[in-house]
Chains A and B, each alone.
Chain A
Amino acid sequence: MRRTIVGLGISCALTLLTVPVAAQMVTDYEVITAPALVAPKAERAVLTEIAVAGERLIAVGDYGLILTREQNSSDWIQANVPTSVLFTGVSFANAQRGWAVGHHGVIVATSDGGLTWQRQLDGFQFIELQQNYWGNLVEELESAIDASDDEAEIEELEWALENATFQAENADFAAEEGPTKPFLDVLALDANTVLVAGAYGTLLRSDDGGASWNLLDANVENPDGYHFNGLANGSEYLFLAGEAGQIFRSADRGDSWEVLDSPYYGSFFGLHVDQSDRLWVAGLRGNIFMSDDQGETYTQIRLEDTVNINSIVDAANGGVYLVGNAGVVGYVDEQGEVEQRTHSSGAILTDLTINQDGSLTLVGQRGVLSLESFDTASVEQE
């Protein structure tokens, strides 16, 4: 009997040991500032994007998860991240410097290739940014209207003023409600210049590596405040695409944007400039378009299934891979030949990367998944 009682004592002691001692009680939980939980199941959480920095893969997703994996390894390591929001985009300027953006107006940056991250902007600061931006714009427009005597110009300015006033009021309202606009994509042009696209026509840029951020919303013609879902960088232009078939391009790193004729009126989620400088846009219900003239004209490409296509990535041999909802993975070779596979999980897939052996690492609803290569060119070569 005594032995069993001793056993009980030991098991009690062990139970006590597993309770962490130094934890500080949180009484005002805030997802923006809460450090990401160390999560053994991180690889199974919702992940949204994956980027390559040097020899390292970096995937981002829900619960402030940023996972890194060396190309030659199979182990994912959770990075130290000072927020718990859902990340929606990640982009690296070089092997060290990168940014990730997400919900609640959060931007984080790394300068060690994704191992540790610092918060550069949060939603509360973002609201202040908006208040100042729209407030200043209202003042500028008002004085411009006062200064102008051209009827047509005044009409245009007044129209802009109306929009700016509306946005300024929105920002004031948001100051009470808290951050509600998520960022949806990020694009690092170099170690100092980063662009961030977001909901309701949000466009941000930093020219000093994230130390300060400037809003560019008013530089894009988006009167209905549609979401901006994707950014891509080509040889001549930056591209921006979003809700309701919008496509824009900029020749001056985002200062001014030109509206392009869209081949489609539904939303685009994926935007990509491939290795041959061709522009790809893809979105709702399997709508995929390719342009080899910088977005002037488009050719439609069809997969078997008409599900949302979320991302397009360069494959070897000049082709591209596409991933979408319901586990759909597509391959389009340089000549436009299409092949479709469906991942057995049927999970929503949001991004992918190609490993050195040609196999695919997919991310999405079920976290990290993998699929063997099926771009016929590289298979035949082997």
Chain B
Amino acid sequence: MLERALFGIRPLWFVIFAALTLFLGWHASQVRPEASFVKMIPTNHPFIQNYFEHQDDLRSLGNVVRIVVATEEGDIFTPEFLKTLRSVTDEATFIPGVDRSAIKSLWTPNVRWSEVTEEGFVGGPVVPDTWDDNNPEESLEQFRTNTLRSGEVGNLVATNFKSAIVYVPLIETNPETGEPLDYQEFSEQLETQIRDKYSSDTISIHMTGFAKIIGDLIEGAQQVGLFFLLAIIITLVMLFWYSRCWRSSIAVLACSIIAVIWQLGIIKLIGSGINPYSMLVPFLVFAIGVSHGVQIINAISNNTVDGHDKLKAAQLAFRGLYIAGLTALISDAIGFTTLMVIDIAVIQELAIAASIGVAVVVLTNLGLLPIIMSYVGISPRGQTYTASVRNEAHPMLAFFGRFSQPKYAYTALILAVVGLSWGAYYGQQMKIGDLDAGAPELRPDSRYNLDNQFVVDNYSSSTDIFVVMAETAPSQCIAYDNLELMDRFSWHMENTPGVQDVKSIVYVAKMGGFGLNEGNLKWFSLNRNQYVLNANTSRTPPGLINPDCSMAPIIIYLNDHKAETLKTVVASVNEFNQNYQQEGLELLMAAGNSGIEAATNSVIEDAQYEMLLWVYGVVVVLCLITFRSIRTVACIVLPLALTTVMSQGLMAVLGIGVKVATLPVIALGVGIGVDYGIYIYTKMKEGLEQGMNLNDCYRYALENTGKAVGFTGLTLAIGVATWIFSPIKFQADMGILLTFMFLWNMLGALILIPALARLFSKLGKPMH
């Protein structure tokens, strides 16, 4: 019936598909890569809830770009360098999105030196009043003196005096238009108006900050478009090599691309976007489309060689394949949906996008492709090739065919156990979270991370920040009792392994005591007199208390953001909260990049096993329903488990952590990997029912699906392997792991299923 509906009104379907493709294509063209911070974090985790509650108050703390102007020769106190620094400061001031009033460098009037005198404080801007562009040499010494006493060495000036920072706070919403800051555009302007313009033989520019990470991330993501092109070209070559027919190769390719267009269009329509994680989906959809398309054209060309006309060949192919194809695709889709258990929006978006994509493939490659083929048919050259290879024993057939024989089966199984042990052994060293320094989204040797390393090396600030929010009643954030316990907490945290430094309003209050008592360090303490405390905190920089003084962030600078470090810090905060309680003061975790990563890690750590349980649960149930035999399920699932365990070992060895990007990979790998097993075992079962022995069964299965399984594994692997070259670290990690899983699952299915079947038949004999 389905067949009649499809082939009965072919021209109408053609028009419908074309119209839909145009419509969705138009929407797909509107899709822009986005990198939403909120979507990458587990929004329901208590840490994140606390963070959201105080997000506005914490904003001024974080969103800053640091532009480092470094000199290659001498130090910064030369007329040339200082003039360049001034130009960079001026240039940065006028880039849209910059908070002009808060920008800081040695040239801005808000950067001052101060000194205690007998009469009190004296001070002034670091730029000497006497500065004269025509005669700068005169004022250089004064510039140096002012810089030294400004307290900015280590902050705005490198400790080796070979570079200086322009500190650029951003406004996230344009006050004139109300539009959010376009990070990509901002980042680009930094590149063209600052880096390109001022870099020279003697001056180098380094830039760090969240806006720059996002900008680089989106820029990197756009390169993925090139990878897609690459994947298409390689796939086309392989399709042609497989079929020797341009018509069918291009038809498969076109249908698969249409599937991608539809998927993107639908995503846009349902208001979802594409992020650097879900960018994987078009590749998967394309690859799945191609692998199912291959089966269709394979069947069509067999039918054509058998003497059927174009239409009949396509109809027969559809009839023979739609049930198997539907089953496989449905199991893929269910595999993807298990990702929904992870409470992180990018992963859920990826799951939705992948499920939509698979549904679309059903329409394009099981529906549209046969219709197209019924018009164009297989080229004579393709027919000749199909006819010629049909009767030939393929060398692959001979190779894989051996594994149902006891000798090869047991060797393979022993090797599998070795592989399993290897994976299990190294898998224990698998880490949660990101392991590299700097911005883990980007490669360790990316320009951003090199810039970041430059700042870390030359300035006294870590970029791994864990923020604890000290919540009080309004106007109580600097009450003595609260500050005193916050001070205890700060010291407790500073002595926690992995913590470099702790800064908060408490430090400001103590420094205030020092400053207002003539620069005498013996006054570096809190005072019970509230008026004294108010005076001591009157020069609090923005961000360290909120406007109604009900929250003060305690900023904990960490050595790194390794999962163990974060765990230690979280445990240490919990320990303090268990030991000290004070009415009116709550120390809440967590904000800052490391605080959020700690939350993400904990969600991922929990979800890791939950997700595996779901994926394997679904696969086992699906296989049980299909084959109604525990042994069969074991034959299909055990090779998958081997791949999972080995990929964990691989992750440990390659230093890839379990994180937002790599967690879905396991589900994708298992979800798609099970297809191979299903195809092969379906055919083996057919053979068994015809009364064949195990060796013949497997040979029969290989003849019918072996080639398709091999080809599918290869196309899938090629689709994702191009990602290995992505400038975005996590995309590369995803690429490596998926390529490994797709290939290894394919090999596992072709080698271990017959071997396991052999083993079980031996074990099973006494039972009969």
CB of B399 closer than 8 Å to a CB of A: no
CB of A187 closer than 8 Å to a CB of B: no
Q: Pick the most buried of B522, B581, B605: most chain A CB atoms within 10 A of its CB.
A: B522
Chain A proximity of B691: nearest CB distance (Å): 37
Q: Pick the most buried of B519, B579, B645: most chain A CB atoms within 10 A of its CB.
A: B519
Tell me the nearest residue of chain A to B575, going by C-beta. Answer: A19
Tell me the nearest residue of chain A to B567, going by C-beta. Answer: A15
What residues of A have a CB within 8 angstroms of the CB of B424 in the complex? 1, 3-4
What residues of A have a CB within 8 angstroms of the CB of B201 in the complex? none
Assuming the A-B contacts A19-B575, A34-B488, A63-B491, are A266 and B118 also in contact, with contact meaning beta carbons closer than 8 angstroms in the complex? yes
Chain B proximity of A104: nearest CB distance (Å): 8
Give the docked Cα–Cα distance between A1 and B491 (Å).
Answer: 41
Chain B proximity of A70: nearest CB distance (Å): 23
What residues of A have a CB within 8 angstroms of the CB of B641 in the complex? 1
Q: Which of A17-35 contact B (CB under 8 A)?
A: 18-20, 23-29, 31, 34
Assuming the A-B contacts A27-B582, A29-B582, are A325 and B524 also in contact, with contact meaning beta carbons closer than 8 angstroms in the complex? no
What residues of B have a CB within 8 angstroms of the CB of A227 in the complex? 517
CB of A37 closer than 8 Å to a CB of B: yes
Which of B204-212, B344-352, B360-368, B527-535 lies on the face that meets chain A? B527-535
1/0 per residue B483-504: CB within 8 Å of A? 0110110011011010000000
Which of A83-91, A204-212, A369-377 lies on the face that meets chain B? A83-91
CB of A180 closer than 8 Å to a CB of B: yes
CB contact between B430 and one of A4, A348, A364 (< 8 Å): that residue: A4
CB of B472 closer than 8 Å to a CB of A: no
Assuming the A-B contacts A26-B581, A40-B495, are A269 and B520 also in contact, with contact meaning beta carbons closer than 8 angstroms in the complex? yes
Give the docked Cα–Cα distance between A15 and B605 (Å).
Answer: 14
Assuming the A-B contacts A15-B571, A26-B581, are A177 and B529 also in contact, with contact meaning beta carbons closer than 8 angstroms in the complex? yes
What residues of A have a CB within 8 angstroms of the CB of B517 in the complex? 227
Assuming the A-B contacts A4-B648, A41-B494, are A48 and B522 also in contact, with contact meaning beta carbons closer than 8 angstroms in the complex? yes
CB contact between B519 and one of A4, A5, A88, A308 (< 8 Å): that residue: A308
Assuming the A-B contacts A1-B645, A229-B520, are A182 and B578 also in contact, with contact meaning beta carbons closer than 8 angstroms in the complex? no
B495 adjacent to A1 (CB under 8 Å): no
What residues of B have a CB within 8 angstroms of the CB of A182 in the complex? 522-523, 525
Assuming the A-B contacts A26-B581, A285-B117, A364-B521, are A7 and B428 also in contact, with contact meaning beta carbons closer than 8 angstroms in the complex? yes
What residues of A have a CB within 8 angstroms of the CB of B645 in the complex? 1
Assuming the A-B contacts A4-B428, A84-B488, A326-B149, are A267 and B518 also in contact, with contact meaning beta carbons closer than 8 angstroms in the complex? yes
Assuming the A-B contacts A29-B484, A180-B528, are A365 and B575 also in contact, with contact meaning beta carbons closer than 8 angstroms in the complex? no
A46 adjacent to B521 (CB under 8 Å): yes
Tell me the nearest residue of chain B to A287, going by C-beta. Answer: B118
Chain A proximity of B161: nearest CB distance (Å): 12
CB contact between A1 and one of B520, B580, B644 (< 8 Å): that residue: B644
A346 adjacent to B153 (CB under 8 Å): yes
Q: Pick the most buried of A20, A62, A86, A89: most chain B CB atoms within 10 A of its CB.
A: A86
B118 adjacent to A284 (CB under 8 Å): yes
What residues of A have a CB within 8 angstroms of the CB of B609 in the complex? 5, 8
Q: Which of B125-162 contact A (CB under 8 A)?
A: 148-149, 153
Number of B residues, CB within 8 Å of A: 54
CB of A251 closer than 8 Å to a CB of B: no
Give the docked Cα–Cα distance between A271 and B319 (Å).
Answer: 102
CB of B116 closer than 8 Å to a CB of A: yes
CB of B427 closer than 8 Å to a CB of A: yes
Give the docked Cα–Cα distance between A86 and B517 (Å).
Answer: 15
Number of A residues, CB within 8 Å of B: 60
Q: Which of A53-89 contact B (CB under 8 A)?
A: 62-63, 84-86, 88-89
Give the docked Cα–Cα distance between A28 and B584 (Å).
Answer: 12
CB of B612 closer than 8 Å to a CB of A: yes
Assuming the A-B contacts A5-B609, A19-B575, A180-B527, are A310 and B521 also in contact, with contact meaning beta carbons closer than 8 angstroms in the complex? yes
Q: Which of A130-148 contact B (CB under 8 A)?
A: none
Assuming the A-B contacts A4-B648, A84-B488, A180-B529, are A25 and B580 also in contact, with contact meaning beta carbons closer than 8 angstroms in the complex? yes
Assuming the A-B contacts A15-B571, A39-B495, A285-B118, are A184 and B522 also in contact, with contact meaning beta carbons closer than 8 angstroms in the complex? yes
B532 adjacent to A180 (CB under 8 Å): yes
1/0 per residue B420-439: CB within 8 Å of A? 00001101101000000000
CB of A318 closer than 8 Å to a CB of B: no
CB of A178 closer than 8 Å to a CB of B: yes
A88 adjacent to B527 (CB under 8 Å): no
Tell me the nearest residue of chain B to A29, going by C-beta. Answer: B485
CB of A246 closer than 8 Å to a CB of B: no
A284 adjacent to B532 (CB under 8 Å): no
B525 adjacent to A103 (CB under 8 Å): yes
CB contact between A39 and one of B430, B491, B529, B580 (< 8 Å): that residue: B491
Give the docked Cα–Cα distance between A350 and B495 (Å).
Answer: 23
Assuming the A-B contacts A3-B428, A37-B492, A326-B149, are A26 and B527 also in contact, with contact meaning beta carbons closer than 8 angstroms in the complex? no
Give the docked Cα–Cα distance between A298 and B414 (Å).
Answer: 93
B578 adjacent to A25 (CB under 8 Å): yes
Tell me the nearest residue of chain A to B568, going by C-beta. Answer: A18
What residues of A have a CB within 8 angstroms of the CB of B578 in the complex? 19, 23, 25
Give the docked Cα–Cα distance between A227 and B529 (Å).
Answer: 17
Chain B proximity of A145: nearest CB distance (Å): 33
Chain A proximity of B606: nearest CB distance (Å): 10
Chain B proximity of A262: nearest CB distance (Å): 12
Assuming the A-B contacts A4-B428, A180-B532, are A284 and B153 also in contact, with contact meaning beta carbons closer than 8 angstroms in the complex? no
Given contacts A27-B581, A285-B116, A285-B118, 7 further A-B contacts (CB under 8 A): A1-B644, A25-B580, A34-B488, A37-B492, A37-B495, A86-B524, A182-B525
Nearest 4 pairs between A and B by C-beta? Answer: A266-B118, A86-B525, A88-B522, A178-B528
Can you spell out 30 A-B residue pairs with CB atoms less than 8 angstroms apart? A1-B612, A1-B644, A3-B428, A15-B571, A19-B578, A23-B575, A25-B581, A27-B580, A29-B481, A29-B484, A31-B488, A31-B526, A37-B491, A38-B495, A39-B495, A62-B524, A86-B525, A88-B522, A89-B522, A103-B527, A180-B528, A182-B525, A184-B522, A265-B118, A269-B522, A284-B118, A308-B520, A310-B520, A350-B521, A365-B524
